[in-house]
Structure 1
Amino acid sequence: MPRTTTPRTAALLFGLPLLLSACAEPGPDTASAPETAEPHGFIAGAQENSEPQTGLLTVNAATGEGQLLSLLTGDTSDAGVGGPVTAAYRDGRYALMATGAGVEVFDTGAWTVDHGEHKHYYSAEPGSVGPLQVPDAGAVAGDGTSIAVFSESGGYASVYRHKDLDAGNLAESARITTSPHTGVVVPYEGHFVASLAAGSGAADGVEVRDAGGLVVLGRQDCQGLAGHAATRAGIVFGCSDGALLVSGDGGTFSAEKILYPDGGAGRPPATHLDHRPGSNELAGPAGDAGVWHLDAAKRKWTFLPAPAPVVAASAVGDGRRVLAVAADGSLLTLNPATGAVDAQVPLLAPAVPGGAAPRILVDTSRAYVSDPARSAVHEIDYADGLRVARSFDVPAADIVLETGL
């Protein structure tokens, strides 16, 4: 039975703006259209809504037990898998949970389709789709159309199409082969950005392939490749000396290195970059020294000092706010324009060595900060002095995804 979560704040629901679809009203001659015509944006088996159906998917890493919490109604449902989960990824309506046996696909039942000038917001019944049988599955990446799961021992990525998953079909649709290593293949602009390794087992570059495996952009160096992020400017990969930005335009691809200023000035590189989906700004901890902020559109890194070692960071994408969690449990707003700490509030229990790290998830109006030690997630109004709008008790908060975006 679904279990209802009670927020710690007095109000269960915080008013969300009504985001209306910008689809045109039917014209006067549409009465003559066949009754079987599908409306613009139609997706079989889904209900269209007037606002995004956002939620939180939380997972116990040790057991695989999960919960899906609606941020609109507060209702919950089961969303776990059997066995430990090492990582989770979201791509559109799907959550991909990496387990020892492969990758479990879970339909979160909520997603957004962006048509550029307007968006459609859909919901359907959430539930398990099934396992993707990829041996030694590592990194998972998607672009809302295709999902690529990298086999580290096999040295290839199995590609699955959303339209197949929508129909319950778990068959591999394509395979992008490189070499065995700790790598990733990122679907992008109808092509695939594939990591490469020069014999060491660690990724140290990328190239762009078409769907048939033909190389359309040759090897681009990225020593110490660690993580990637999709921005409007292109796909950003973290490198030991900065970042590599791969961008595409009408089937033509290019790559550009964005180096750390002054060679990083002895500061550790960012090994993980987080951002608000759809923005061009990213942020990640610079070891114990502070936070690296990257504006991919401006091709610019900025180092932001912090008053305490940082364990998680993410960029809001407005040029004025980077959110960070310090090891003492405080939540900070760092200003990339001035370098100042604009706000700092106590929020979490202090970090425990070896414990699950907090995560910061940012959308257009709120941030969600996981609190693994207390099995909670906090909803933060980052435009209002880091005010805690709501807090949710959850069974576990080792792994957290925001759904419905």
Structure 2
Amino acid sequence: MSLFVRKNVTAGAPAALVALALLTAGCAGQDDNTSSPKASSTASTTPHGYVEGAQEAAEQQSRLVLNDPGTGDTRVLDLITGRTHEEPLTAGTTELTTDGRFGYFHTPDGTRVLDAGTWTVDHGDHVHYYRAAIRDAGRFPAGSGARVRGDAAVTAVTGEDGRATIHRRADLEEGRAGSPRTLPGTHAGAVVPYAEHLLTLTGDGNSTPKVAVYDREGGRVASPDATCEDPAGDAVTRRGVVFGCADGALLIHEDDGAFTAERIPYDRDLPAGERASSFRHRAGSDTLTAPAGHRAVWVLDVTERAWTRVETGPVVAANTAGEGSPLLVLEADGALHGYDIATGEPVARTERLLTGDLRAGTDGHGPVIEVDRSRAYLNDPEGSRVYEIDYNDSLRVARTFDLDMKPALMVETGR
């Protein structure tokens, strides 16, 4: 594996990011060797998160997985060390997604799985951060249209035909896809692991999809009596799982083994082009964003069960850290704009950062905004770079990472 030294880095990286202290309180023994992670958790309980060979750290261990679909160039940018790791080529990628640890490269011939080697385990009252070696973890046969969702125990892969398979997370941690189980039924959206169960919307195409809940062995359990017309988009929050529907959002929540459904409707009927159809948010946040047509962004506050429509310029990408942070919008002028979510007023703006044609594309490639607890990351495919933004300091560019490839696709792991 080759290493490329990150260049043109401006000052401003948090000093705490260089600390890789091993934590011992309440933890199992650790191993300093960072090769060949091996799972030590089971699917029946929330895993502690440690695997053999991993290092536990004091801070979140963020890495960016980057891909150029044209050339197949693939890199993993370690935001702690500033080094860029070259990985095997993956050409023809139509979409790059993540569950916080694994990068999923969707191609017409199947889905490649890359273990980015960083992850977070949140136990509610405390959090564990881990880092390990980067390595391939096999392939799923489902191709470009597959939807992959995972938690600490299982990974659900839903194909374009609506059929879903369930993979053990422990197999991926050992570097292989393993032998999956097939989930019964046909699913209108992604199968989403949540609260040691699997949530989905089932339907035969002739009726409105209905909420269904399965255990991890594929057995049906009691489900709330709720439907979701024209489902599009989903997100896991601390308040439950959100599915986007024609009339707004459907929130599925678990409490002591019982599942309930609650609608969060729009204030009026909307044409399909103005509905929220894909959600982006900071992992662990209950504030979701989605384009609302070409010149506005929806912000869904799941805690308050409220939608806010923020008027902007032409939207290329959007995201927010939530909890009082600004709404971040990359607009067609190439600048990153910050908006106050409550008032809709602009509060900050960068200079032009990106060049080229920034109209939102239809091929799934182009700039995105990844957000964590202190920084946002913006990929510049034409400029062959990634910007690190301090969104709490008037959108200051904290660091600039120059690359030897065009990062048309980007996801952040370690969350």
- TM-score bucket of the superposed structures, by smaller chain: 0.7 to 0.9
Work out the CA distance in 2 between the residues paired with 1:339 and 1:92: 30
Work out the CA distance in 1 between the residues paired with 2:52 and 2:249: 40
- Once the two structures are superposed, the pairs formed by residues 210-289 of structure 1 within 5 Å of their partners are 210-211=215-216, 212-218=218-224, 220-264=226-270, 268-289=274-295
> Residue 315 of structure 2 contacts residue 360 of structure 2 at CA under 8 Å; is this kept in 1?
no
> Which of 343, 353, 366 is 2:348 aligned to?
343
Work out the CA distance in 1 between the residues paired with 2:367 and 2:296: 16
Q: Does residue 1:85 correspond to 2:90, yes or no? A: no
Deviates further, 183-192 or 2-11:
2-11
> Residue 142 of structure 1 contacts residue 187 of structure 1 at CA under 8 Å; is this kept in 2?
yes
Q: Does residue 1:115 correspond to 2:123, yes or no? A: yes
- The one-letter amino acid of 1:378's match is Y
Distance 1:351 1:168, change over 3 A: closer
> Which of 170, 180, 190 is 1:184 aligned to?
190
> May I ask how many residue pairs the two structures share in their alignment?
389
State the shift of 1:186 in Å.
0.6
CA deviation vs aligned residue, 1:87-123 (integer Å, no higher than 9, x gap): 1222243212212222211111121222222222222
> Which of 157, 170, 176 is 2:177 aligned to?
170
- The one-letter amino acid of 2:407's match is A
> Which of 384, 389, 393 is 1:380 aligned to?
389
Distance 1:237 1:266, change over 3 A: closer
Give identity over the alignment, percent: 39
> Residue 315 of structure 1 contacts residue 321 of structure 1 at CA under 8 Å; is this kept in 2?
yes
CA deviation vs aligned residue, 1:337-376 (integer Å, no higher than 9, x gap): 2221111223222514647331011100000012222222
Distance 1:5 1:22, change over 3 A: closer
> Residue 63 of structure 1 contacts residue 85 of structure 1 at CA under 8 Å; is this kept in 2?
no
> Residue 241 of structure 2 contacts residue 253 of structure 2 at CA under 8 Å; is this kept in 1?
yes
> Residue 367 of structure 1 contacts residue 380 of structure 1 at CA under 8 Å; is this kept in 2?
yes
State the shift of 1:267 in Å.
7.8
- The one-letter amino acid of 2:16's match is L
Consecutive unaligned residues of structure 2, counting only runs of 5 or more, are: 28-39, 41-47
> Residue 11 of structure 2 contacts residue 398 of structure 2 at CA under 8 Å; is this kept in 1?
no
Work out the CA distance in 2 between the residues paired with 1:320 and 1:403: 21
Partner of 2:373: 364
SS at match of 1:337: coil
State the shift of 1:130 in Å.
1.3
CA deviation vs aligned residue, 1:223-279 (integer Å, no higher than 9, x gap): 221111111011111122211111111221011111112345998112221111001
> Residue 21 of structure 2 contacts residue 56 of structure 2 at CA under 8 Å; is this kept in 1?
no
Q: Does residue 1:160 correspond to 2:167, yes or no? A: yes
Partner of 2:25: 24
Distance 1:383 1:13, change over 3 A: closer
Partner of 1:33: none
- The one-letter amino acid of 1:130's match is G
Work out the CA distance in 1 between the residues paired with 2:266 and 2:407: 33
State the shift of 1:398 in Å.
1.2
Consecutive unaligned residues of structure 1, counting only runs of 5 or more, are: 27-37
SS at match of 1:374: coil
Distance 1:370 1:335, change over 3 A: same
> Residue 276 of structure 1 contacts residue 362 of structure 1 at CA under 8 Å; is this kept in 2?
yes
State the shift of 1:66 in Å.
0.7
CA deviation vs aligned residue, 1:115-139 (integer Å, no higher than 9, x gap): 2222222222111121123367511
Work out the CA distance in 1 between the residues paired with 2:13 and 2:303: 36
> Which of 298, 304, 314 is 1:298 aligned to?
304
Work out the CA distance in 1 between the residues paired with 2:234 and 2:87: 26
C-alpha RMSD of the superposition:
2.7
- The one-letter amino acid of 1:398's match is A
> Which of 319, 328, 331 is 1:326 aligned to?
331
State the shift of 1:187 in Å.
0.8
Partner of 2:79: 71
Work out the CA distance in 2 between the residues paired with 1:66 and 1:269: 33
Q: Does residue 1:403 correspond to 2:413, yes or no? A: yes
> Residue 21 of structure 1 contacts residue 118 of structure 1 at CA under 8 Å; is this kept in 2?
no
